[in-house]
Amino acid sequence: MTDSKRTATLTIDGRTLELPIHSPTMGPDVVDITKLYAQGDVFTHDPGFTSTSACESQITFIDGDKGQLLHRGYPIDQLAEKSHYLEVCYLLLYGELPGADQLEDFENRVTNHTMVHEQMMNFFRGFRRDAHPMAIMNGVVGAMSAFYHDSTDINDPWQREVASIRMIAKVPTIAAYAFKYSMGQPFVYPRNDLDYASNFLRMCFAVPAEDYEVNPILARAMDRIFTLHADHEQNASTSTVRLAGSSGANPFACIAAGIACLWGPAHGGANQACLEMLEEIGSVDRIPEFIKRAKDKNDPFRLMGFGHRVYKNFDPRAVVMKKSADEVLALLGVEDNPKLQVAKELERIALEDEYFASKKLFPNVDFYSGIILEAMGFPTSMFTPIFAVSRTVGWIAQWKEMVNEGNVKIGRPRQLYTGATTRDYVDVESR
């Protein structure tokens, strides 16, 4: 951040305040209002944080109008094409692409932590057998702080590092176990001779009676899904992680908070909601009816997988994901799947429709990721857990960045109070 020496002038009831302006390396300037209340006795009001920067960060940059997403300066399409998930994890966590030795060391460190504490199996078995895998993940990741006491001290850099590696290594195992448990199948232990994505697919689809031969094209597609979802600057779940972390909560608790936020259909739950919507539409001839509903102000229905708070041109992740979807569907020979037919036609009609064009509503990454995951054999209930696996590194990188800065200020928004003014308590007999 640089101080531009420029200021913004705010006049309130004849009093004038000069507010400093800071310039980022990319993106719009930022008006610093930290002293506004002390000097002006007013708050700002911005529900949904549409114009508010809540932190300084060097990890990810998004220009929604240009459809640009950069991690540490590198465009997401280059990373998705040329890199792979664990290398992107390293980049997000440590700021630079690793050298060959650094990458090998990082991959070994992650690989050495893929198993979960054996006692945690009992924890899984405590859930109802029909529990949503996201509910299980939320509970089990939160419970990691009860199993890994030696990495909960946020003031110790070594413990912060161990906790980070543990979570990146174990969340795929936890997600796969949640899946296995919900199907009544035995847990499949991780295999450390496989890469991150292949290991995850095997833990999900192998059974003791029959091993699972990992198809390299599917493993690559899985790795891409992880890579494309790895971080997305200050989105709702990441901001939740930062807010939870600002109180000094341990890292496992903070990531569990992020998982809880991600679950909502306006955020990570959209991929599940999108597939359910395609199922509900059912056939191409019913699309106009749903388009009509999406445009109707009195109908809460929205086209799931369309629109984004930040991207108002296109979602660069969706471009890569669409390509990946075509590859996977061709490989699996399921191009004539009815949901896919509905998806393709819906995409075509919505892109041509004046309502969607004028509001800049385009298919987002979740529109395509659900289609790929379903073709791979995942039920819709696993879509958001897979998103959580991918995003864990982003949450951790952002949490670490905040804690590393030191002197973390607890996040504590203000409010525009519109409730009752002061009044005296009345005894129940007199009410």
Residues forming the site for ligand ACO (CB under 6 A) = 266-268, 270, 294, 302-309, 359, 361, 364-366
Identify the CA nearest to 365 among candidates 426, 315, 424.
315
Task: Work out how close the CB of 359 gets to ligand ACO at its nearest, in angstroms, rounded to a whole number.
Answer: 4
Note if 113 is an active site residue: no
Tell the residue number behind the tokens 């950069």, with chain if given. 70
Catalytic residue among 63, 366, 424, 427: 366
Q: What minimum distance in Å lies between the beta carbon of 120 and ligand ACO?
A: 29
The answer to whether 92 touches 231, Cβ cutoff 8 Å, is yes
366 among known catalytic residues: yes
- Please state the separation of Cα 103 from the chain's center in Å: 24
Q: Which of 84, 132, 267, 308 is catalytic?
A: 308
**Residue 34 C-beta: closest distance to ligand ACO, Å:** 26
- Minimum CB distance to ligand ACO, residue 215 (Å): 26
Structure tokens given for 331: 């490989």
Q: Which is nearer to ligand ACO, 259 or 303 (CB)?
A: 303
Pair of tokens at residue 29: 């300037």
- Mind giving me the DSSP string for 199-237? HHHHHHH-BTTB-----HHHHHHHHHHHHHTS--TT-HH
Q: Which residues are CB-contacts of 369 (< 8 A; sequence separation ≥ 6)?
A: 225, 228, 229, 271, 321, 383, 387
Q: Nearest residue by C-beta to ligand ACO?
A: 307
> Cβ distance 256 to 247 under 8 Å?
no
Nearer to ligand ACO, 249 or 373 (CB): 373
CA gap 422, 425 in Å, rounded:
10
Residue owning tokens 């050298």? 99
Given the complex with ligand ACO, which of 270 and 371 has the nearer CB atom?
Answer: 270
Q: In this complex, which beta carbon is closest to ligand ACO, that of residue 123 or of residue 306?
A: 306
Residue 275 burial (CB count, 10 A): 25
Minimal distance in Å, beta carbon 266 to ligand ACO? 4
Whose tokens are 């073709």? That residue is: 375
CB of 214 to ligand ACO, least distance (A): 26
CB nearer ligand ACO, residue 261 or residue 397: 261
Q: Confirm if 280 and 93 have CB atoms less than 8 A apart.
A: no
Show the tokens assigned to 100: 């060959």
Whole-number Å distance between alpha carbons of 227 and 80: 6
C-alpha–C-alpha distance, residues 123 and 139, integer Å: 9
Residue closer to ligand ACO by CB (options 37, 355) is 355
Active site residues: 308, 366
